[in-house]
Amino acid sequence: MIQLPEERRPPISPSMALRVAVLGGLALVLFAIVFFRLWYLEVLSGDQYVVQANENQVREVRIQAPRGDIVDRYGRPIVRNRMANTVQIEPARLPAAGAPRRRLYRRLGGVLEMSPREIQQTVIEQRKALPYANVMVKQDVSLSAMNYIKERQPRFPGVTVEPVFLRRYPYGPLAAQLLGYVGRITRTELKQERYKGVHPQAVVGQAGLEWEYDRYLRGRDGATLLSINSLGKSRGFLRRREPLPGRSLKLSLDLGLQQAGQLALARAGHGNPGGFVALDPRNGQVLALGSVPSFNPTVFAKPLLQSTYRALTSKATGAPLFNRAIAGAYPTGSTFKPITAVAGLSAGVITPFTVINDGGCLTVGLTRFCSPGNVGHGAVALSRAIQVSSDVYFYTVGRDLDPIKGEPLQRWARKLGLGRKTGIDVPEEARGNVPDRAWRARMGRAELRCEHKRHVPSCGISDMRAWSTGDNVNLSIGQGDLLASPLQMAVAYSTITNGGKVVRPHLGLEVDDGEGRLIQEIDPPASRRVRIPPAFRNAIMSGLHAAASAPGGTSADVFAGWPQARLPVFGKTGTAQRPAGQRDQSWYVCYVPNRTRPIVVAVTIEGGGFGAEAAAPAARLILSKWFGVKSKFIAGKSRTQ
């Protein structure tokens, strides 16, 4: 067995022993100091520090910043603020939980027409978010309710009535879908980057321009900082942070034209839903944009009842919240024909002088396509075809464009702004649809997936047939699966009339400080260009002018007595077929050149009938207001599509 040698340890020297003793003593002293200090703080001075901590809490009382006004292009207010009263609860001054507090909630609920449970829930939810802030129970309370509470203050401990700013829409439902509305910020919104630093009780834009330009309009809330103890009692004023009022937003909108447009739409539509747009074709400024039926945005100043929301969104009431001018997506009828003309000319299937014989019908394969009543117009060239709205002429162009590589009809529709969002500075714009082979294939795949998932014979997404030339024929006159909004059609016509500049429609012009001092100009979005040779444009424009002024023109009788020499109208009617049992959709898009006030107007009315019956007369009333022409409502007699 191997034995290991014993470990040898060096002897400890006296100097090393001294150092170890000194270090150990120091450590013991330090430990004793820390121990006795902690004992002193905990045992002897604990109550003192608890009191100080309780006395050093801070309550922040919000000072609401008024939102900025929204004004039209001439500075006329469209949206303002008004002072109102809000009932608040100061949690620290509430009676003890239990019967005393329940009695207060019952008493307060009787005055405010709220249930005690509703008040209790409001207090609980708001205290979770802001433990030391006052709870807003109800805003915009009546003068009688305010006086009742103030005159009987001892019966309402912890309840106060405070002034607040609320939105005022002096013109009620005018441009309501466009302007939007405001509401209390939600928990979800508070987590978003755009609301960073916003007070949890702030009012923010929830739709329309109120949402789009909220960062300018809402301002920044101020606050009064109060020192409070652990019971929530105020110990005194600390400091005040002044609110920063919101900026004023100037729009391109013309208030008078907006009023005229909505009145014209209501009159021509006889209560049917519809939308209209008026654009400056030079720069895309929106001069007016409206949708009917409409609503009063002040309905959102109070918690919305389910029944009220249903009335605002129900098809039975016309869905007043729905902005048909930008979110509506409809077949356009014959207002699409100038787009077909641009495509046909650019692809070389026609020239401005190509003559096609319109016998009332055109047979494509096994399908016969006919105009209403099989009415033919004989031998027509492009301008005449637009003037009388010859279906067969454009059927022929659509047929001849279909086999050409690159789908020129669809390509030109998209180049002119259809099938894509225009980029207007208002949310919820519809993209629309320009049907083509790829789209039909996608719809077929979606149909198969749906049938497989739901185990049903059909989902109604697609009829599962391949693209055919007949689809292009339908598209050539704005029927079939084409979908566009009045705004998109206004952009398309602006592009044709201005020679190829595809404008980006916009409403915001500038932001000022509320006193008229400019803070920031809102740069218009960049436009793009497409090539439309002057000869092509001239042929189309000639047809559009004849349609509104010459015998046989589809809207000529609507513009009887109009000063065409001074203010020539270039316009096209459209009649889009709707599902069986429903009246056709009425369309009209027109342009009036003017050195200082050119305008493009697009109008559509659901169930309005032929284009000359409803949409064209509404457009005339809008033009009359814009140019100061005395006018009357004239329903046209043209029955072309």
Q: For 309-318, what is each residue's pLDDT tens digit?
A: 899 999 999 9
Give the single-character DSSP code of 244. B
181 Cβ contact partners less than 8 Å away, ≥ 6 residues apart? 167, 205, 206, 207, 208, 210, 297, 299, 300
Tell me how far apart the terminal alpha carbons of the chain are, to the nearest angstrom: 117
CB contact at 8 A, 282 and 259: no
Give me 66's structure tokens: 């008024």
For residue 464, give the amino acid letter: M
pLDDT for position 199: 83
Give me 96's structure tokens: 């003890």
Q: Measuring CA to CA, how many Å separate 513 from each of 216, 245, 246, 506, 521?
A: 10, 8, 8, 21, 12
Strand-strand pairing, 70-71 and 248-251: parallel
The CA distance from 73 to 216, in Å, is 17
Residue that is written with structure tokens 């075809």 in the block: 385
The CA distance from 596 to 190, in Å, is 45
Q: For 577-602, what is each residue's pLDDT tens digit?
A: 887 778 899 999 999 999 999 999 99
Residue that is written with structure tokens 């005194």 in the block: 236
Low-confidence ranges of the chain (pLDDT < 50): 1-7, 49, 51-52, 54-55
Task: Please choose, from the candidates 356, 246, 268, 296, the residue with its C-alpha nearest in 3D space to the C-alpha of residue 620.
Answer: 268
33 Cβ contact partners less than 8 Å away, ≥ 6 residues apart? none
The CA distance from 588 to 574, in Å, is 6
The CA distance from 502 to 527, in Å, is 6
pLDDT for position 22: 62
Give me 343's structure tokens: 């495509």
Q: Which residues pair with 333 in a beta bridge?
A: none
Where b means 16+ CB within 10 Å and e means fewer, 55-70 reads eebebbbbebbbbbbb
Q: Where do the CATH 3.40.710.10 domains begin and end in the chain?
A: 255-295+323-508+521-627
Please give the sequence-ordered ranges of beta strands (E in DSSP) within 447-568, or none if there are none: 501-502, 508-512, 518-521, 528-529
**CATH superfamily for domain 255-295+323-508+521-627:** DD-peptidase/beta-lactamase superfamily (3.40.710.10)
User: Among positive and negative, which fits the CA dihedral 301, 306, 310, 313?
Assistant: positive
Task: Please choose, from the candidates 466, 84, 91, 144, the residue with its C-alpha nearest in 3D space to the C-alpha of residue 302.
Answer: 84
The CA distance from 500 to 335, in Å, is 18
Q: Where do the CATH 3.90.1310.10 domains begin and end in the chain?
A: 59-251
Neighbours of 314 (CB within 10 A): 12
The CA distance from 44 to 600, in Å, is 84
Rounded to 10°, the helix 337-347/534-549 angle is: 150
For residue 147, give the amino acid letter: N
Please give the sequence-ordered ranges of beta strands (E in DSSP) within 16-169, or none if there are none: 57-63, 70-71, 77-89, 135-139, 159-168
For residue 567, give the amino acid letter: L
CB contact at 8 A, 281 and 596: no
Please give the sequence-ordered ranges of beta strands (E in DSSP) within 10-134, or none if there are none: 57-63, 70-71, 77-89
**CATH superfamily for domain 59-251:** Penicillin-binding protein 2a (Domain 2) (3.90.1310.10)
Give me 340's structure tokens: 């077909």
The distance between the two most distant Cα atoms of the chain, rounded to a whole number of Å, is 132
Q: Which helix (H) or strand (E) holds 296?
A: none
pLDDT for position 583: 87
The CA distance from 540 to 343, in Å, is 12
